[in-house]
Amino acid sequence: MGRIQDAFATAKRQNRAAFVAFLTAGFPDPERFAAYAEALLEHADLLEIGLPYSDPLGDGPTIQRASETALARGVDTASTLAMIGALRARTDKALAVMTYYNPVYCYRQGGASGFVRALAEAGADGVILPDLPPDEAGALLPAARSAGLDTVFLVAPTSTDDRIATVVRACRGFVYAVSVTGVTGARDTVADEVASLVQRTRDAGDLPVAVGFGVGSRESAARVAAVADGVVVGSALIRAIQDESDAGHPEGGVERVAALAAELAAGCRR
């Protein structure tokens, strides 16, 4: 059993949903990224690391700005891989990279196949691909399988049962269920159709289902945890880090963001 599968299995044994925290690589800067990542991993079962990208079509303004900040500070694929390697040396927790397909396709050392090999060698356990239809994954899927890297694709409330079945067959580790038909960002409510989407996805296979897009508080995490196997939180954490950075709290900011992560993790308990 790989780290991602183990993270969800452990959470299930403990009668809770797995807490998946998101952090953009190199944000708020390459030096402080590691401190925030380690603080989040004190409470998260899995860390989703976003590869900074100039055109993140599925992301709302909060994560878009985090990518812009990281890119402006020179963060690229090579430095992201180096950060993952350094983080892997300090943690046994599951690590997955979220990336749009263009950086994968354009990877200079072997395209998609070279990218997944490099990712696995750096110490990542999986790759989340929000804009790549699994039936168009080409050489990526067999290369990922060969490298021992889990592949995670997305389903949405608008996905048909046939489409969900196609996505689930291509996934390893877990299936990422999008709670809304829109971009990332914390919201005050969780859509009513989330429970139905989770159940339809479970019916298509035996993988855990984690729900993201819109979770930003202990209360919304609890609502998702009641129906899903995992809760993904990104924008709320990124916004908290940005607020602490803007306020000039480089040290205490890590503690405050860790406290938010603890609250979100508490919401994942059933």
Catalytic residues: 48, 59
The single-letter code of the amino acid at 193 is E
**Amino acid, single-letter form, for residue 25:** A
Print the SS3 string covering 74-98. CCCHHHHHHHHHHHHCCCCCEEEEE
178-195 exposure pattern, b = at least 16 Cβ within 10 A, e = fewer: bbbeebbbbbeebbeebb
For 252, half-sphere exposure in the C-beta direction (CA atoms, 13 angstrom radius) is: 6
Q: Can you tell me the distance from the alpha carbon of 264 to that of 85, in angstroms, rounded to the nearest whole number?
A: 26
CA 108-146-47 angle, to 5 degrees, is: 75
CA 18 to chain CA centroid, nearest Å: 12
Instruction: Please return the burial class of 54, using the count of CB atoms within 10 Å of its CB with bins 0-12, 13-18 and 19+.
Output: exposed
Distance CA 263, CA 76 (A): 31
DSSP 183-239: -----SS--TTHHHHHHHHHHT-SS-EEEESS--SHHHHHHHHTT-SEEEE-HHHHH
CA 13, chain centre distance (Å): 22
